[in-house]
Amino acid sequence: MSHRINIVLFGIGNVGSTLISQLLESQQLFLERSNIELRFPIITNSTLAFFEKDGVKNQWEANFAQSAIPFRIEDIIEYVQNQELDNLIAVDATASKELVQSYIPLIQNGFHIVAANKIANTLHGDFYAELRRNLKKFDKQFLYETNVGAGLPVINTISDLHAAGENITKIRGVFSGSLSYIFNRFGQEDLTFSAILKEAEKAGLTEPDSREDLSGNDVARKLLILAREVGFNAEFPDIKITTLLLPNLNEKNTKAQYAISKELLDKPYRIAKLTQPEEHVLRYIGELDLKEKTLEVKLVSEPRHTALGQIKGADNLIEIYTQSYGEHPIVIQGAGAGKAVTARGVLSDILRISENIKRQESVSLKV
């Protein structure tokens, strides 16, 4: 008998729609290899939900367009209860703060949670703790590997080391694929900062408003997630952020003003590039120092021969320093952005929970 897993997918943008495609392509493989049947009885966008008793098929987009209806979280919970669906996983592929507020009611009504959305792990510590109290009380899992490094095994590695009693002393690295791309090219090519920034925007590597990337807030959120993962009690305002924006070119400008004024960035970054030591490159990093109890997001000059100095393209690279490994960090490197790798990371989290459900069901049958 196969183990049926019912996935309610919130968000059918780039990551959500890619996840559906990946799952449908590999559905038979999961069934044959692991005896796990993954299905989507419900998929939603921000306002509409499509309810499908038999699970979403290849024509899901047409069905969604024809049959999706307005919904509330209460409607989702009522539907799965009326249909007597079990082995429930809610997948958050949105950037919605409102949906995060529904995590606890979902957990209380039988759902595990998988999130690409970072918000739940960066809200005030009271919510963070309350969420975990409910997970423990209702014996549910909350996985979010893609919160840092997309498909890279960053969170799992750090949480496993911490759970095993390893003394992690420092975590530092390049956490932004878009800023990795910009500074990697800026260090190698004789182009202005604004020219590379505009190319990154055209390639879809930045947020629609690239000030989101340049502000440092996204890197700071990822750093906060990792800090909390190792038990460091911190809030977002505790992070010292050195923005890449300028006093006269920042979030206060209109989009139109920002769009025509990016050349203002060229002079300060050219000076920073020219005044650093030879064989050094600029890198925008996040750093958690557990000895000093500091969290910092900043621009640094890094020797070319180091791991951070050698990264290419839009790669992320995270260094994990521990007592056991001494001065030689664990290094995790690879693509840190993109809908395909992020969706695959979400799918890995789904499968991890599914395997756990399968084990629990097997134990229950033996008893």
- State pLDDT tens for residues 228-278: 999 999 999 999 999 999 999 999 999 999 999 999 999 999 999 999 999
pLDDT above 60 for 367: no
The whole-number average pLDDT for the span 147-168 is 95
222 catalytically annotated? yes
pTM for the structure as a whole:
0.94
Cα dist from 91 to 25, 68, 88, 212, 272, whole Å: 18, 18, 10, 24, 43
Where in the sequence is the domain holding 101, given as residue range(s)? 3-147+340-366
> pLDDT tens digits for 300-346?
999 999 999 999 999 999 999 999 998 899 999 998 788 999 999 99
Nearest in space to 297 (alpha carbons), one of 252, 234, 231: 234
Same domain assignment for residues 72 and 88: yes
Q: Round to whole Å and give the CA distance between 189 and 179.
A: 15
Is the pLDDT confidence value at 161 over 70?
yes
> 197 and 305: one domain?
yes
CATH number, residue 75: 3.40.50.720
Position 35 scores a pLDDT of 94
Identify which of 54, 49, 117, 119 has the alpha carbon closest to the alpha carbon of residue 78: 49
How many domains is the chain partitioned into structurally? 2
**Amino acid letter at 155?**
I
Residue with tokens 């996840």: 19
* pLDDT at residue 235, as a whole number: 97
Shared domain check, 15 and 140: yes
Mean pLDDT, to the nearest integer, of 8-12? 98
| Claim to verify: residue 130 and residue 46 sit in the same structural domain | yes
- Same domain for 245 and 113, yes or no, is no
| Confidence tier at 169 by pLDDT (50, 70, 90) | very high
Q: Is the pLDDT of residue 348 over 80?
A: yes
Beta bridge pairs of residue 300: 283
* Average confidence score pLDDT of the chain: 95
Query: How many Cβ atoms from other residues are within 10 Å of residue 288's Cβ?
Result: 26
Please give the pLDDT value at position 116.
96
Single out the residue of 328, 282, 275 nearest to residue 302, CA to CA: 282
Which tops the pLDDT comparison, 53 or 202? 202
Does residue 364 surpass a pLDDT of 80?
no
- The answer to whether residues 319 and 331 touch, using CB atoms and an 8 Å cutoff, is yes
Residues 140 and 191 in one domain: no
Catalytic residue among 53, 137, 140, 222: 222
Same domain, yes or no, for 158 and 258?
Answer: yes
Any residues with CB less than 8 A from the CB of 153 and at least 6 apart, and which? Answer: 145, 332
pLDDT at 365 over 70: no
- The mean per-residue pLDDT over the stretch 74-98 comes to 97
Report the CATH number at residue 168: 3.30.360.10
* For residues 43-48, average pLDDT: 96
**Residues 309, 182 share a domain:** yes
Give the pLDDT of residue 361. Answer: 82
Question: Do 175 and 323 lie in a common domain?
Answer: yes
pLDDT higher than 60, residue 353: yes
Sign of CA dihedral 191, 194, 196, 199: negative
Pair 158, 139 in one domain: no
Mean pLDDT of 93-109: 97
Does 249 share its domain with 292? yes
Q: What is the pLDDT of residue 366?
A: 65
Q: How far apart are CA 131 and CA 123, in angstroms?
A: 11
Same structural domain for residues 294 and 345?
A: no
Residue 53, pLDDT above cutoff 80: no
Pair of tokens at residue 106: 């979902």
What is the model's pLDDT at position 106? 98
